[in-house]
Structure 1
Amino acid sequence: MTLKLKNPLAFFDLETTGINISNDRIVEISIVKLLPSGERVTKTQRINPQMPIPLESSLIHGIYDDDVKDAPTFKEVAKSYAAFLEGCDLAGFNILQFDVPLLVEEFLRVDVDFDPSKKKLVDAQKIFHLMEKRTLAAAYKFYCGKELLGAHSAEADTMATLEVLLAQVERYEGQEVVSTRGEHLGKVANDVAALHEITASNMVDLAGRIVRNDAGTEVFNFGKHKGKGVEDIFSQEPSYYDWMMRGDFPMDTKKRLTEIKLRGFNKK
């Protein structure tokens, strides 16, 4: 089919040094501008982020420091990209949560005017999530081909979940599972330990405030220290532990924090 357009629609994607909108930088930008005539114009370029690219990011997008050392900085190309996007609406996958905010940060950093409020934004991920519901009833329909009667009654939901899991194992057994960050989590198998590995193996506390990274180290999964080792933060900023213990966090989270703090203390 052909999209009906009044303005060019610029589909774009960013590869970056990380996922922190305020601090991370673009290492590659690709734009496919779809014109009302149906013509497509593509502009793709590596960018020197002027900071080291973390290895965990490079392993996902395949771009390393040497690949961008001779590339232009965003400041050097910002005006050309602002001009390329002039008069365009924007589209992409997860652009509302990540790509648009980070791109705007880059433009603001180099004092180039780029106002997304004047553009229409289309996020294919949002449409996907709106149309393909992530409810138990939707999963039951998808995997089992049946309507969930009595939804939100405990027994009906429990029986449906059992059937869904059986259908998932049958459908996906032997298939590799890869996270949205490109991490290989293992294969789906008719084995509870294997299913645990791909769904909950990195959890430390039940609220998900603390998780294990690829190296198995407990790291914070929220806030200003997201991705940083819990023991390291407690060593560098002891008051952070006190703040969390006084804060509105679940008792299970506080229990795990105390265990980590005591373990670190006993190492000294």
Structure 2
Amino acid sequence: MFKLNLKNPLVVFDLETTGTNISQDRIVEMAMVKVMPDGSVEEKCRKINPTIPIPHETSLIHGIYDEDVKDEPTFAQVAKSLAKYLEGCDLAGFNVLGFDVPMLVEEFLRANVDFDTEQRKIVDAQKIFHLMEKRNLSAALKFYTGKELENAHSALADTQATYEVLLGQIEKYEGQDAFDTLGKKLATIENDMNVLHDLTTSSRVDFAGRMIYKDGKEVFNFGKHRGKSVTEVLQKEPSFYDWMMKGDFPLDTKRKLTKIKLRRFNQ
């Protein structure tokens, strides 16, 4: 099997949750495939009591009901041991930047457990897939491995599939250039977590994507200030910071916004 070139352990993971609202919803299951630099692999999967009801329509998707998690530990109870397990590891997943990493960070913040993402490489296999082939996880698995995805929306099945997709992507595209929708070269695909991290994460300031980098500067990516410099908006309209801090934004977004504000005042 094709082997990833790793300097650090890589944890490919997938979350099943009560919904898709990062601020309000909670994790109900987490599956991980931990790949060591020597190529050895271990798998972990556990259910988590979200402490809130799982909507029936969500249970119909992933097959996890309130009864299945009522006796499981809460995220706060497993947060420290999970952070220890992920210590020193880079992260990967399918749409991991759009959902799984922001949700995981939010859960750690709620549990008051320090989980640093800035020192980790994060690789989103979905972004590579969309950049190179433009298509969901089932299609990706079929395309790269010829396999059919069984038990879709089972966290472990999705995680195993994502790992195989990532292997297939690097094997197929290594040495090829990736371009954005405007034809601008972004990077040359390499079997290197630094390159893949930069390719899939470089434009985001916060995981929810409320702020992005544009020409090297942080700009807002939503609402009336979309495309405007964050520092300039905070300077001209200080109340916008207060509005965001009181609003229904992820804790990670508020943390990054505060960091930008403090940096501006310390200049």
Q: TM-score, with normalisation over the residues of structure 2?
A: 0.50
> Which fold has the larger relative contact order, with Cα–Cα distance below 8 Å and residues 6 or more apart in sequence?
2
